[in-house]
Structure 1
């Protein structure tokens, strides 16, 4: 490679470092162009409508009203924070503290609680296989989450920070966001603490401020690369896998705290879900 550069440099009368800088500039310009084209593609897809996740929303709505579990009861009296059975706007205010569990819960963990208390599912059965395989069919829990989330589409994110545990969840999420670990000493902040960064052609939003809404406000989503609808819990799992961290347990405290941190930073932004992702 160096010999080739020396020959090229001799031909054009330039130094090798100067030639390498030109090559780097060309690569950066090409990457920036590809990122812009990729973003334009996603914008077009989202503007056209007809997201495949619409089928998940329909299935989730049916499951919400279907009598299931050992108690043969529906989820229509599930309290998602705004009162029993109130779905409209609930997702826009999650995660939040729930007095009956004494915990800060996100959407999926709260749905699991309702499946246990209302429908009689065991904890093991309630969150069994919560994530679909790539290209497979969404799980019942994912479908219900898609439906509930869509009921907040177009609403402002307003995740509360009134309770001491809600504030603690935010602070814990912030600490975890900057915590370095794993074989590569990665943290969430390694990719998401500066503006204008990208991996390959994928833009990396800064999640430490209001720019977090670029990502947070557009989940749940349908990533084309997955071929199946995905929730924010899955996105957290995928990020930690890419950091080579141990896979977190579904609805774990760490995942909920990270979601709280991102969500509070996104407060005031408008939810758009489901969207298309790469």
Structure 2
């Protein structure tokens, strides 16, 4: 009798696990199909158009455009630059990601103050729009379909990668969370959202190559800066400053981990 009962319970447990697994697979497939349907009319194109216009428009105290900005492959070159960012820039003596580099160019070439440039780094889904988000999504779109090849030859690039790796695993805050808490194992999810394992090349490529993305729930394009900012917020960490070295280092770690993957951004997220 006991053996029979155990066998029934075991069979029920296997059936339940199988049902849950099928339900998760079904949900994942459903979300993927939903995104595929929206991709043909991705609202991010509106941000791309505005970003392309902002790049060539003369603005700021110096009445200059950003067409002389060096994003890593020479003055004014945009095609392919995002596949090689973050990287070390000799003129600032720092490793910079796309957005912190844009801030440097807007300050030095257009004459804006740092406070002016970073006053509205993220749009709010309605009347307040971010020039930085628009510029970033256009520049990223110019590298879409290319392979990521972020450099690590310079000592500061190697240093940034190692710091980012440590930050990824650093546990702190009221919940004792780290990036690795959610993103270091397979098969994890939060609500209906899959959580990629960023410690593997496949997971890092899938995640990093998908940002910037248009977030349907927010009605905004969100860049990698915002994605990582939001991760810190959810961990209840102190709010990182826009363009901070912490964000750059973490971006460097994720980007290098994703090397060899295809850049798919801008994409659509929930």
Over 3 Å counting, the alpha-carbon distance change for 1:196 and 1:135 in structure 2 is farther
**CA distances 1:210-249 after superposition (whole Å, capped 9, x unpaired):** 1201110011110111111110100001111111111111
1:180 to 159, 162, 171: 171
Deviation at 1:50, TM superposition (A): 1.8
Cross-structure match for 2:244:
252
SS at the partner of 1:75? Answer: coil
Does 2:81 align with 1:90?
yes
1:52 and 2:43 are equivalent in the alignment: yes
Q: 1:108 aligns with which of 76, 85, 99?
A: 99
Report the equivalent of 1:165.
156
Q: Tell me which stretches of 4 or more aligned residues in structure 1 moved more than 3 Å.
A: 12-29, 134-138
Q: What TM-score, normalized by structure 1, do the two folds share?
A: 0.89
**Distance verdict in 2 for CA 1:31–1:209, change over 3 Å:** closer
Match of 1:33 among 1, 26, 31: 26
Structure 2 residue aligned with 1:42:
35
Q: Which runs of 5+ in 1 are unaligned?
A: 1-11
Report how far residue 149 of structure 1 moved: 0.9
Report the equivalent of 1:215.
Answer: 207
User: Is residue 71 of structure 2 the alignment partner of residue 80 of structure 1?
Assistant: yes
Checking the alignment, whether the CA contact within 8 Å between 2:120 and 2:129 is kept in structure 1 is no
Q: 1:145 to 1:13 in 2, by over 3 A?
A: closer
Contact 1:68 1:74 in 2 (8 A): yes
- Contact persistence 1:174–1:261 (CA under 8 A): yes
| Count of residue correspondences | 265
TM-score w.r.t. the length of structure 2 is: 0.91
- Residues in 2 aligned to 1:208 and 1:14: alpha-carbon distance in whole angstroms: 38
5+ residue gaps, structure 2, are none
After TM superposition, the structure 1 stretch with the greater mean CA deviation from structure 2, 28-37 or 148-157, is 28-37
Aligned residues: CA RMSD: 2.1
